[in-house]
Amino acid sequence: MKLLKIESKTTKRYCVLLFIAVSVFFFSIGQLLSGVANAGEEYIVNVSVDTYIYSDNPNDSFEGLSIVYGGGMPTLSWRGMFYYDLSSLPTGIQISSASWRIFAIGYDAPPQDFALYEISEDWWNEDSATWTWNNYLNSYEGNPQLIHDGIENTAGQWYEFPFNDLTVLQKWADNPSTNHGFMWKMVNEFTEESIFRIIVSTYEVPYFGSSLLIRDYYLDIQPTSLGAIKALYQ
């Protein structure tokens, strides 16, 4: 009878500990899924390939330059195209936040709203002579705006724009073959006069390269509650 009581007490102790461990596990998963978990490491991914396309020269490509143009006038438009290689990110990363960092120079024009879209087809891996307005005019259509923000008319300054939607970046991190880069265009394209230049990373101006700042999750779980409750059953 005494032996049965001891076994019963031991079983009860381990059942309680198992219950607590399972509860902490699901609490941790809940934090991760809800975005409550703290941001962990920050990774800087510099631009790998960039160019722009120009409606007034629809069959010309503009690779190998130190500037990417974006903006437009009532009769023409420039759009930027950027590719960032995310292969340096850790396998299995869960992205908690990300932003796009650029150094931009505005001409004599009012501030403008711009949007960043996912490009749906490969371009950076193709012959650069094909990087033209006619080939990639509609390559972003149907995709959601990943960033929608304003840019000032300025002599030149750094901007950091947070992503509204992390789904695309997470998809690229999980499956790099789906990464075709971004299209940068003004929201009021062809209606307002605005020309902006993004200084991109080349051997001539390496300091001004655009980049993605990507942050991942880590779980901040305090083990003291388990230890305290376990002590009650020693």
pLDDT tens-digit series, residues 75-99: 888 999 999 999 989 989 999 999 9
- Would you state the structure tokens that stand for residue 62, as one six-digit string? 């503009």
User: DSSP class of residue 90?
Assistant: P
- What's residue 57's pLDDT? 93
- What's residue 213's pLDDT? 82
Residue 2 has pLDDT above 50, yes or no: no
Give the residue among 78, 73, 76 at the shortest CA–CA distance from 62.
78
Q: With bands split at pLDDT 50, 70 and 90, how would you rate the model's confidence at 20?
A: very low
SS3 229: helix
Residue 174 has pLDDT above 90, yes or no: yes
Portion of the chain with pLDDT greater than 90, in percent:
29
pTM score, whole prediction: 0.72
Give the separation between CA 110 and CA 64, rounded to whole angstroms.
Answer: 29
Distances (CA, A) of 207 to 68, 131, 211: 15, 25, 11
Q: Exposed/middle/buried for 188, CB within 10 Å: 0-12, 13-18, 19+?
A: middle
pLDDT tens-digit series, residues 130-146: 999 999 999 998 898 89
Gap between the terminal Cα atoms of the chain: 21
Q: With bands split at pLDDT 50, 70 and 90, how would you rate the model's confidence at 224?
A: very low
Question: Could you tell me which residues come within 8 angstroms of residue 10 by beta carbon, excluding any fewer than 6 positions away?
Answer: none
pLDDT tens-digit series, residues 183-213: 998 888 877 666 777 765 443 444 556 788 8
- What's residue 17's pLDDT? 45
Give the residue among 232, 163, 191 at the shortest CA–CA distance from 17.
232
- Would you state the structure tokens that stand for residue 24, as one six-digit string? 């902490």
Question: Once rounded to an integer, what is the mean pLDDT over residues 122-128?
Answer: 90
Residue 5 has pLDDT above 80, yes or no: no
Q: What is the mean pLDDT of the chain?
A: 74
CATH number of 40-218: 2.60.120.260
- β-bridge pairing 112-118 and 182-186: antiparallel
Residue 53 has pLDDT above 90, yes or no: yes
The three-point CA angle 217-218-220 to 5° equals 135
